[in-house]
Amino acid sequence: MRKNWGDAMRYRKRGAWLTMVVIFLLLSAGFLPPVQARETVRIGILAHCGEAQCLRDWQAVFDLLNQQLEDYRFILKPLDFDQVYRAVEGREMEFLLANPAYYVACESRYGAQRIATLKRSLDGGNGGRRTFFGAVIFCRSDHPTLETLPQVSGKRLMGVHENSFGGWLMARRELLAAGVDPLRDCPEVSFGENHNAVVSAVLKGRADVGTVRTGILERMAKEGEIALKALRIIAPRPPVADFSLLHSTRLYPEWPLAKLAHTSDLLAEKVLAVLLTQKEINTGEEHVGSYSWTIPQNYQKVHECLRDLKVAPYENFGRITLQAVLAAYWPAFTGLAFLLVAVFLFYTYVQKLKNDSRARRALQQSKDFLQNVIDANPDSVVVISADYDVLFANRAARKLAVGGHGFTDSETLKCYEYLYGLNHPCESRDGFQCPLRQEKNMLSVTMINKTMRDSNGELRSFEIAMAPLPCNGKFLGMVESFRDVSSRVRAEQARYRLERAVEQAGEAIVITDAEGVIQYVNPAFERITGYRREEALGQNPRLLQSGEHDRAFYENLWQTLLRGETWQGELVNRNKNGEIYYEDATISPIYDQERRLINFIAVKRDVTKLKRSQQALQESEEYHRGLFNDSPVPLFL
């Protein structure tokens, strides 16, 4: 009995071990639900100071994202200047943080879209955080001649990198505007690869002139690396609102964070939500400084800079190439080629079969078919022989003909009769001579714009394409295609009149975007406020505030506008010279077709003289009333 009980215990222990082994195997084979892996998100960052430095500068952002978005694993991908375009094209990352020049090129070529803009300071925070920056051009203070941009010609010039926006491209634009092409007029153009190296090279005499982004000189001076008095700023610009750093160039928006075309909007929204709540981070590094994030800024100024320099994505801007012409007008060329082939085949077929009755019937069928095909074209198409005879006209052309001419095989009309109501070939009409009278144009396509009257006598505008019909070196005739562009011309004329009316208006007109950033001012605004247009664009109208209105006044103004209503009232503002002036203002919101707020427009009339006259009259009344009331002698009126 005791033996049987011992055997039973041994079998029970063996069964327990077997059960544990089976459970382990089931777990190993994946029968239990696996732990879901985190999705990897790669963010490429321009590492213009090296990969190790890039990792130190931006690691705090990745720590924050990995902490806040637990379903994703964010990886930093450092990129040098030559890797950015290749990495974007190869979809090696989901987001890109690079200088504005790289962003604009990636936006144009690969469909990148900005979701946030850096707000940072490189001067130790003395000027606060900014969403814009510029460049400073400088030399040693003991240089005997360098004070203006034209004097840079003939000097040794150093930048940070040929693709550095703040360390080269900004300064190059200003030099070109001053008549100096650095690549042509400077005996030596070199690059230091980082901002400190450029400053050091100028101080040690290895370069006559250097350029770095704004804030670098102030930061180096604050840290004791240089003395500002040892340097001279070339063509310094005066301080502007919210920007007191030394600068020699126009100001541009800071680095954008962009999502690439294949990145989902949902992921971009999650990343943006985390970044906008991020507190300021102070890295202590000269090319990053302290930073946080804000909503994406307007990068139109960057587009203009790159377009002036003709660098990516504007390498071919202003050049007319065959490839560009074909890309822009390929529908017109394709249609014209189709017409030429169809008309040529039709004409040769007619000549071959015209003496055969059976062939004539087939010809008529072929002609009817071709007529129906070309009648479907909304453009007017006319085939003209070398003797000015109208051989063919589609339905649209028959409606266009002057005098309501029809067109049949039994009648022969000349093109100048059919189209223009003339009794002789066209001479030089409106500065254009008929191509049939010009031997040199018989083998080329000619396109003109022409205003003419249709069969109803209505004046209309047309784009006319004229193509010759050669055969075995012989000129057979010409195909003319008329496209009615009257509506477009009228719209352009109406827009021009509106633009001229706004430009010449006596009232100041200001247009802002939905965020209140000034996008347009007319000359009356410049005259009244003293601010030039380039000074006002990109600013907020609050730069005119005088302090005479309290907070409740502006809250009422904005509440009225955001309700979709027009605000009218009197504003007390301050012009550029610090003088107070009065305006009668009407401010209205502008909505698009989907009722989305897109702009605000303000029309303001200067009433300062009227206001002061009223005040003077009131003061005069009060003065004489006081004399009258205080007189000891009874006075009667």
Name the residue type at position 196: N
Between 325-329, 467-471, 497-501, 563-567, the lowest mean confidence (pLDDT) is in 325-329
Across the range 211-219, mean pLDDT stands at: 91
Residue 93 has which token pair? 């990352």
pLDDT computed for residue 36 by the predictor: 59
Across the range 584-613, mean pLDDT stands at: 90
Whether residue 630 is predicted with pLDDT greater than 80 in this model: the reply is no
Whether residue 620 is predicted with pLDDT greater than 90 in this model: the reply is no
pLDDT computed for residue 416 by the predictor: 72
412-430 pLDDT per residue, tens: 677 777 676 676 777 655 5
536-553 pLDDT per residue, tens: 999 999 999 989 999 999
pLDDT level of residue 491 (50, 70, 90 thresholds): confident
Across the range 138-167, mean pLDDT stands at: 94
Between 111-125, 389-403, 495-509, the lowest mean confidence (pLDDT) is in 389-403
Q: Give pTM, 2 decimals.
A: 0.49
In order of 35, 37, 347, 384, 446, the CA distances from 412 in angstroms are 86, 81, 16, 11, 25
Question: Which has more confidence, 491 or 189?
Answer: 189
348-357 as b/e, with b when 16 or more CB fall inside 10 Å? ebeeebeeee
Across the range 176-188, mean pLDDT stands at: 96
pLDDT computed for residue 2 by the predictor: 43
* Sign, Cα dihedral of 356, 359, 361, 364: negative
Between 102-111, 447-456, 547-556, the lowest mean confidence (pLDDT) is in 447-456
pLDDT level of residue 409 (50, 70, 90 thresholds): very low
Between 157-166, 237-246, 448-457, 474-483, the lowest mean confidence (pLDDT) is in 448-457
Across the range 12-21, mean pLDDT stands at: 54
SS3 state at 406: coil
pLDDT level of residue 287 (50, 70, 90 thresholds): very low
Question: Which has more confidence, 467 or 352?
Answer: 467
* Residue 207, C-beta contacts closer than 8 angstroms, at least 6 positions apart: 156, 157, 158, 188, 190, 198, 201
Across the range 516-543, mean pLDDT stands at: 93
CA pair distance 90, 260, nearest whole angstrom: 11
Across the range 507-525, mean pLDDT stands at: 93
Whether residue 299 is predicted with pLDDT greater than 70 in this model: the reply is yes
Q: For all residues of the chain together, what is the average pLDDT?
A: 82
pLDDT level of residue 266 (50, 70, 90 thresholds): very high
CA pair distance 118, 295, nearest whole angstrom: 9
Across the range 426-454, mean pLDDT stands at: 65
pLDDT computed for residue 12 by the predictor: 53
Across the range 74-84, mean pLDDT stands at: 91
The DSSP call for residue 149 is G
pLDDT computed for residue 250 by the predictor: 95
pLDDT computed for residue 1 by the predictor: 43
Residues forming beta bridges with residue 480, ordered by sequence position: 382, 466
pLDDT computed for residue 81 by the predictor: 83
CA pair distance 214, 35, nearest whole angstrom: 49
319-369 pLDDT per residue, tens: 666 665 666 667 777 888 888 888 888 887 777 766 666 667 777 787 778
Across the range 229-253, mean pLDDT stands at: 92
Residues forming beta bridges with residue 508, ordered by sequence position: 604
pLDDT computed for residue 439 by the predictor: 47
pLDDT level of residue 114 (50, 70, 90 thresholds): very high
Element (H, E) at 337: helix 322-353
Percentage of the chain surpassing pLDDT 90?
A: 45
94-123 as b/e, with b when 16 or more CB fall inside 10 Å? bbbbbbbbbbbbbbeebebbbbbbbbbbbb
